[in-house]
Amino acid sequence: MNSLVISNIRQRPLRSTISVIGVSLGVALVMLFTGLARGMSNDLQRRSSNMRAEILFTRPGSIQINTSSTNLSTKYVERLRQIEGVESATPVIRYFYPSGSFGVDQIEGVEWNDFAKMNNVRLVQGREPRQADEVVIDETKAARKHPVGSALKIFGEKMYRVVGIYAPESGARAKLTLASLQEILEAPGKCTYILVKVKNPNDQVAVARRIDQELPGNKVQFTRDVFASIESSIPSLGIFLRVLVGLAAVVSALVIMLAMHTTITERTREIGILKAMGASRRYIISEIEREALLISAMGLVVGFALAAAAGFFIHKTTSLIFEFGWGWALTAALIGLLGGALGAFYPAIRAANLDPVNALAYE
Amino acid sequence: MAAILKAENLEKVYRVGKVDVPALRGVSLEVQQGEFVAVMGPSGCGKSTMLHLLGGLLTPTRGRIVIDGEDLTAASDAKRTDIRRRKIGFVFQRFNLFPTLTAEGNLRLAERIHANGADDPDRRREVLRLLRLEDKMQHKPLELSGGEQQRVALARAVVTQPALVLADEPTGNLDSENSAIVLKMFQELNNRFNQTIIMITHNPEAAAACGRIIQMRDGHIV
């Protein structure tokens, strides 16, 4: 590594540090937001994929990935069970609510025995919920200091007692009885959707068509489609992430441009010396670009460390989940380096174009 | 002896606002290889302008400069830079070392610019021994005396074996003792390596150390 580059960075520790922090913030921002988006969507997808039902029966518009309504009559359950090819059907209420810390949590109301049998979910500790104030949770939630017998606050100050822990994780991490959630939501006889398990998974298309014919005006979806790409189903998430990446690039470029612009002014005389020594324009530009790239590289390392620390902290203290993604890490690295290189380009050109005699006379 | 430098009828006019200010008014000069030439004259007579022209830092308004067979005046800016890199070493009154680099770092930087990373350790050792700088290589400029800094600057100028060293009042910032040491070094470089040197000076004692003295006045050689 060029010693002039390193010695210049060492010579101005405060400015170098500020530049590194500027780049690292941009990188950390990209990593943190994309990591959270990825973590949340993968978590939802993982839990959803454990559902064994092939068909989701709803009212039109009743279910989105982050909203739900309880407007489907549970009377459909019996009618669905009578349709040819259907093995079982069970109603579910899914409800989103703000969690105690930053984030959103979800809870489900189910008829436990039917739900567990259909989705191969088993209780690993305790028993199923029977009373209105009883809840079962999955192992991940139980690991967050919620053993069987502990109290769990779900709706405002209302306390629920953990009576069982189930596995594998499937849907919401906490489940009440269907009747309990119906009562809380003042929706007796209603649910959000009905899970339908078909006798032969190869016949699911035919069964779905049959359901549509016999119960028209409702929405029949395949669970494989609903949960295939949760990330892409969140409106504008992709645009949001791309805007974020763009902003990070602009921040990195501006920080480096400012730092290098000041550097060039301070080092005018030194650039004059370089020119007197026969340094070409390309050499001077490459020296400044190398310095910017080294600062950017340090910013990348600090940014990744910051993102990892922040992600860990968020994961531990909130219900949000942070997942590191190599694709976004590569994007963040490119953004940091390209931002730095582009930001330094104008100051580098300016330096290369300095008049050597004037530069040598600069005080 | 071969002429290492030929300057013919050099003129340089600066434009200051709307006024033309002539700095050189037709200077012709020929320097042979191995010559040690002093350029003297009062302030504003055009000495520094001539040095900058000979070093390719400025372009003349008229005239021609040939250094070691290469026409500086016909060259593009990039070509002039390249000629400067290969043929010329500068020594300045204010030393102009890189303060963040050690003495060795300053020398290596010159080698890197000159040869794109390739260096000549034998040449460097010889120059350092001649200038008595072997034990100063790990010092930064601010840790060195003025005389030592100027010797490092001189080493940096000659380590790449330039055809011509251009020195702009190299003893101007030194006391008499250090001036004498630095001048002796110039002489030793001139004798030992047959190094061609053109040195601007106000100091008659410094000029006396040279083989030839050129006097300038009002943009002319007199």
Q: Where are the domains of chain B?
A: 34-60+75-221
Instruction: Give me B167's structure tokens.
Output: 């020195």
Q: Select the residue of A3, A269, A276 nearest B57 (Cβ to Cβ).
A: A276
* Ranges in chain A, pLDDT < 50: 1-2
Q: What is the helix (H) or strand (E) element at residue A209, kind and residue range?
A: helix A204-214
Same domain? For A253 and A215 the reply is no
Same domain? For A173 and A121 the reply is yes
Q: Chain A residues with CB inside 8 Å of B52's CB? A: 357
Give B192→chain A minimum CA distance, Å.
23
Domains in chain A, number: 2
CB A107 within 8 A of CB A174: yes
pLDDT digits (tens, 9 = 90+) for B51-71: 999 999 999 999 999 999 999
Helices (H) and strands (E) in chain A, counts: 14, 12
- Pairing mode, if any, of strands A134-138 and A174-177? antiparallel
* Rounded distance between C-alpha atoms, residue A178 and residue A161, angstroms: 16
Same domain? For A102 and A189 the reply is yes
Same domain? For A191 and A246 the reply is no
Residue where one domain finishes, among candidates A164, A199, A226? A226
Residue where one domain finishes, among candidates A208, A226, A244? A226
Residue A318 domain-assigned (yes or no): yes
Q: Select the residue of B86, B90, B101 nearest A4 (Cβ to Cβ).
A: B101
Residues 6+ apart with CB under 8 A from B81: A275, A278, A279, A280, A281, B56
Same domain? For A73 and A214 the reply is yes
A290 touches chain B (CB under 8 A): no
Torsion angle in degrees (nearest 10) through CA of B204, B205, B206, B208? 80
* Rounded distance between C-alpha atoms, residue A36 and residue B115, angstroms: 51
A8 touches chain B (CB under 8 A): yes
The predicted pLDDT at position A103 comes to 62
What single string gives the DSSP state of each residue in A124-189?
EEE----STTEEEEEHHHHTTT--TT-EEE-STT-EEEEEEEEES--SSSEEEEHHHHHHHTT-TT
Residue A47 domain-assigned (yes or no): no
Q: Chain B residues with CB inside 8 Å of A356's CB? A: 57
- In chain A, how long is the greatest CA-to-CA distance? 95
Instruction: Give me B190's structure tokens.
Output: 């001139």
Region of poorest pLDDT, from A329-338, B75-84, B88-97: A329-338
> Which pTM does this prediction carry?
0.74
Same domain? For A269 and A208 the reply is no
CB B59 within 8 A of CB B35: no
A361 touches chain B (CB under 8 A): no
> Per DSSP, what are the bridge partners of residue A164?
A126, A136
What is the span of the domain harbouring residue A12? Answer: 3-42+236-361
Q: Is A279 close to B113, i.e. CB distance below 8 A?
A: yes
Asked if pLDDT for residue B211 goes beyond 80, the answer is yes
Residue A231 domain-assigned (yes or no): no
Give A328→chain B minimum CA distance, Å.
37
Burial of A325 (0-12, 13-18, 19+ CB in 10 A): middle
CATH superfamily of B34-60+75-221: P-loop containing nucleotide triphosphate hydrolases (3.40.50.300)
Same domain? For A166 and A280 the reply is no
Same domain? For A313 and A350 the reply is yes
CB A15 within 8 A of CB A294: no
* Rounded distance between C-alpha atoms, residue B36 and residue B189, angstroms: 10
pLDDT digits (tens, 9 = 90+) for B94-126: 999 999 899 999 999 999 998 865 667 788 888
Give B162→chain A minimum CA distance, Å.
11
Residue A156 domain-assigned (yes or no): yes
Q: Is A3 close to B109, i.e. CB distance below 8 A?
A: yes
Instruction: Give me B32's structure tokens.
Output: 């042979």
A1 touches chain B (CB under 8 A): no
Residue A280 domain-assigned (yes or no): yes
pLDDT digits (tens, 9 = 90+) for A195-228: 999 999 999 999 999 999 999 989 998 888 776 5
Q: Select the residue of B81, B98, B100 nearest A280 (Cβ to Cβ).
A: B81
Say what the ipTM of the complex is: 0.91
Letter for the amino acid at A47? R
Torsion angle in degrees (nearest 10) through CA of A163, A167, A171, A175? -10
Same domain? For A71 and A170 the reply is yes
Same domain? For A132 and A156 the reply is yes
In degrees, to the nearest 5, what angle opens at C-alpha A26 toward C-alphas A232 and A303? 100
Q: Which of B102, B86, B103 is nearest to B155 (CA)?
A: B103
A276 touches chain B (CB under 8 A): yes
